[in-house]
Amino acid sequence: MKKFLVLGILFVLPLVAYLFFASGVHNFAKLPVINSSIGNLKDFESPNKKEITFKDKITVLGFLGKDIYNKQGNAFNLNQKIYKKNHGFQDFQFVMVLPFGSEAAATKLLNELDDIADVSGWNFVYGTPESIKKLFDSLKTPHKLDANLATQYVYIIDKNASLRGRDGTLEEDEPKKVFGYDASSVADLANVMTDDIKVVLAEYRLALKKYKADRKEK
């Protein structure tokens, strides 16, 4: 009996380990830089005049548009699937871009989101249609803003203000690039974006650990 038990363990454990690492192989790779020269937020204003910037932050960038209620479901999806799991990371933030005149609707949405999780990492910034289009176009994605200056896609911006995504070089990637993530799709957020956010966060955690280790050696 012991012999069969030992043989079973020797057979099962390597198989379990293989399945674990195979399913999470993307977590151990660096998420590619898709565009390293996107625009900034200098032309936008925040409600409390707080300076919002991409620099030194890991940002989920979205464009909710002037008809914010049409994207309310997307915001709740993001809050549940992405924000709640990662907002404890100090340099992680959400930046939602809206046109001037959307302040009251955005405040109401933020209050509703606050019933689910601490929303201190959610930032709403406001600008003119021209500044919104300029920022969006700088991403250089195949996506388009609709007539309300909105899109269902959200984007991962790293601490160097670069757009991160998938370029088809990883084994599990589809042939097409992944520029952004469909916030209207729970499956896309749960199965793709969640994984990619983990990759970027892990990358900076490892960099921070290395920095601290180097400081100790000195």
Q: What are the pLDDT digits (tens) for 29-68?
A: 689 999 999 999 999 999 988 899 999 999 999 999 999 9
Picking from 16-25, 108-117, 151-160, 169-178, which range would have the lowest pLDDT averaged per residue?
16-25
- Cβ 65 vs Cβ 144: under 8 Å: no
Measured CA to CA, the distance from residue 199 to residue 85 in angstroms comes to: 14
Q: Identify the CA nearest to 43 among candidates 122, 110, 138, 109.
A: 138
Query: Which pLDDT value is given to residue 75?
Result: 96
Query: Which pLDDT value is given to residue 206?
Result: 78
User: In this predicted model, what pLDDT tens digit does every residue of 4-19 receive, in sequence order?
Assistant: 555 555 554 444 443 3
What is the domain partition of the chain in residue ranges? 1-30, 31-217
Query: Which pLDDT value is given to residue 11?
Result: 53
Pairing of β 150-157 and β 181-182: antiparallel
Strand blocks (E) in 91-171: 92-99, 122-127, 150-157, 163-164
Picking from 73-87, 122-136, 159-173, 175-189, which range would have the lowest pLDDT averaged per residue?
159-173
Averaged pLDDT for residues 151-179? 85
* Start-end of H helices in the chain: 2-23, 72-78, 84-86, 103-114, 129-138, 186-188, 194-217
Superfamily name with CATH number, domain 31-217: Glutaredoxin (3.40.30.10)
- Cβ 63 vs Cβ 150: under 8 Å: yes
